[in-house]
Amino acid sequence: MQRNLDVIVVGAGFAGIYMVHRMRQAGRSVRAFEAGSGVGGTWFWNRYPGARCDVESMEYSYGFSRELEQEWEWTERYAPQPEILRYINHVADRFDLRGDIQLDTKIVSAHYDDSTRDAGPSRESDGGIGRWRILTDDGESWTAAFCIMATGCLSSTNSPDIPGLDSFAGELHHTSRWPHAGVDFDAKRVGIIGTGSSGIQATPIIAREAAHLTVFQRTPNFSVPAHNIPLARETQAEIKKNYPKIRALNRERPAAFGINWGDSGGLTFDSTPDERRAAYENRWQMGGLGFVGVFADVLLDQSANDEAAEFVREKIHGIVEDPEVAALLSPDHVLGCKRPCTDTGYYEAFNRANVELIDVSRDPIERITPTGLVTTAREFELDCLVLATGFDAMTGALQRIDIRGRNGMTLVEKWSAGPVTYLGLGTSGFPNFFTITGPGSPSVLSNMVTAIEQHVDWIADCLEFMRAQGHSTIEATTAAETEWVAHVNAVADETLYPTCNSWYLGANIPGKPRVFMPHIGFPPYVEKCQDVVAKGYEGFSFPEQ
């Protein structure tokens, strides 16, 4: 087997799969390594009950193949996890990609080796100068001219450091590492820690199955009903007829999706109170993430945000019968500064007699015991404990691999004060190293599939440019990345995003530097990427070794 490749891709989710496809098309030798026993990335791992996408299925799908988008049939407005996983598997088969994807393999280290830089000109697939040396967890080593990280933004599990967690004798499951065989909650006393998107999706379903469910909430979250429905054939056919146009229009929207919502209603206080109320109600009835875009200034103006947030709190009080529980479920942070959730029956679940809400911000969790969970106020006997505690987002998956650039510099060391990237695509000192939807790019604040395609296409085109120009090495410059990080932060600082402890800021991980990681706004970002190319890859250098 050829162990000296042109390109190594780490991960085989939406990003890795499309990267392999583009590299194949360009005639490069490529291999993707995937830790899971199947392709699909986040949709392979997150199999918890209720898992589904919060971007509509007709939008959360690849646009690179006209045939693919015409032949695939989605069944629901918001696709459930098993259907998205089937779709990704279909793509892997349809484009015959599996031969270049190695499953059940973790990358332990990726080191840039320029020790043989004087050995003569490098060709992509020779074992020559400036190569990435990759070691897998089964001890195999590979080299490649290019190392492309398709490790995902929300793939590195955050397991809370609660004393005694390992001592729990019942069933313990993290939502992002859910057993393939499923979990039987029947007649069980279940506890769930975490009320982000995962916890909010899982809660109503577990509540229906379990004897008793205790929800341990540290921070309430805003959630808007999904109003999920089967996708009518006619609706799907209509969209398919206009797919290129719809996708193009979506790419002009700030988050690259949501064409159905129409435009926002301008600035909040340019409308009368009655008009505003009607607009909130309209977006609430539409359902999903579009609620935050009801007016253009919801994430820019505190007063505008207060009013939209108050509308959601009223809705919570309207749904939840016990006013004390409703009050506990009502967030007081800025609407949208933590990613809002999209649910099916979340608040309604608290009207069930078998569901209890515990405020662990008031009575913190002290420890887990073999038989349950102890807070400062009470002990809870549990047969099953679900951790819906999220991810070490955006940087976690990258930093858990021993990645070293020039002169042995580690990525962890380089990013010790927060991720430093140019366009979220590259970082200086790490030549021929790309991150798909890396920190500093729109990624999680946009339709991930669209963001992935934009990055994969940019990288593939860049490699073609290098081939045509005879360049063997590309590297972001320090000046460009410094300026870019400052720009990403300046954009965020003009908004209300940095006001609360979100995973966008790394605030959910103890000790993680507090830096706003995603770039806000897809269209200006794409424009910048295009401009960089038009100016001969401005901000990158081609040092040739």
Cα 423–chain centre separation: 17
| Residue type at position 238 | E
Among 17, 388, 460, 476, binds ligand N01 (CB under 6 A): 388
What's the CA gap between 112 and 147, in Å, rounded?
Answer: 9
Q: How far is the CB of 220 from ligand N01 (least distance, A)?
A: 8
How deeply is 178 buried, as exposed, middle or buried, from its count of CB atoms within 10 A (0-12, 13-18, 19+)? buried
Asked if 53 touches ligand N01 (CB under 6 A), the answer is: yes
**Residue 503 region, left (φ>0) first, then alpha (ψ -120 to 50), else beta?**
alpha
Asked if 54 touches ligand N01 (CB under 6 A), the answer is: yes
Are β-strands 131-136 and 141-149 bridged in parallel, bridged antiparallel, or unpaired? Answer: antiparallel
Cα 72–chain centre separation: 23
Stretch that binds ligand N01, among 300-308, 312-320, 388-396, 535-543 (CB under 6 A): 388-396
Whole-angstrom CA distances from 89 to 13, 39, 40, 106 are: 10, 7, 7, 20
Two tokens at 65? Answer: 């193949």
Q: How far is the CB of 338 from ligand N01 (least distance, A)?
A: 7
Q: How far is the CB of 227 from ligand N01 (least distance, A)?
A: 14
Q: How far is the CB of 503 from ligand N01 (least distance, A)?
A: 5
Cβ closest to ligand N01, residue 444 vs residue 463: 444
What's the CA gap between 193 and 210, in Å, rounded?
Answer: 15
Asked if 197 touches ligand N01 (CB under 6 A), the answer is: yes
Residues 325-354: x/- map of binding to ligand N01 (CB under 6 A)? --------------x--x------------
Please name every residue paired with 367 in a beta bridge, in sequence order, or none if there are none. Answer: 374
Q: How far is the CB of 203 from ligand N01 (least distance, A)?
A: 11
Helix orientation angle between 81-94 and 14-25, rounded to the nearest 10 degrees = 10
Q: How far is the CB of 377 from ligand N01 (least distance, A)?
A: 15
Neighbours of 156 (CB within 10 A): 20
Size of the site for ligand N01 (CB under 6 A): 27
Please name the residues in contact with 496: beta carbons below 8 A apart, sequence gap of 6 or more. 299, 300, 301, 302, 305, 334, 336, 337
Stretch that binds ligand N01, among 112-120, 189-197, 229-237, 410-418 (CB under 6 A): 189-197
Asked if 392 touches ligand N01 (CB under 6 A), the answer is: no
Scan residues 461-520 and list those touching ligand N01 (CB under 6 A).
503, 508
What's the CA gap between 259 and 280, in Å, rounded?
Answer: 17
Q: Is the dihedral of CA 103, 104, 110, 115 positive or negative?
A: negative
DSSP character for 340? Answer: P
Cβ closest to ligand N01, residue 81 vs residue 122: 81
Asked if 365 touches ligand N01 (CB under 6 A), the answer is: yes
User: For the chain, how are helix, strand and coil distributed in percent, rounded to 5?
Assistant: 40, 20, 45
Residue whose Cβ sits closest to ligand N01: 196
Stretch that binds ligand N01, among 100-108, 192-200, 314-322, 397-405 (CB under 6 A): 192-200
Q: How far is the CB of 165 from ligand N01 (least distance, A)?
A: 10
Are β-strands 189-193 and 171-174 bridged in parallel, bridged antiparallel, or unpaired? Answer: unpaired
Asked if 442 touches ligand N01 (CB under 6 A), the answer is: no
Among 199, 424, 442, 506, binds ligand N01 (CB under 6 A): 199
Among 57, 61, 122, 195, binds ligand N01 (CB under 6 A): 195
Asked if 218 touches ligand N01 (CB under 6 A), the answer is: yes
Cβ closest to ligand N01, residue 122 vs residue 197: 197
The footprint of ligand N01 (CB under 6 A) covers 53-54, 154, 160, 162, 175, 193-199, 201, 218-219, 339, 342, 360, 365, 388-391, 444, 503, 508
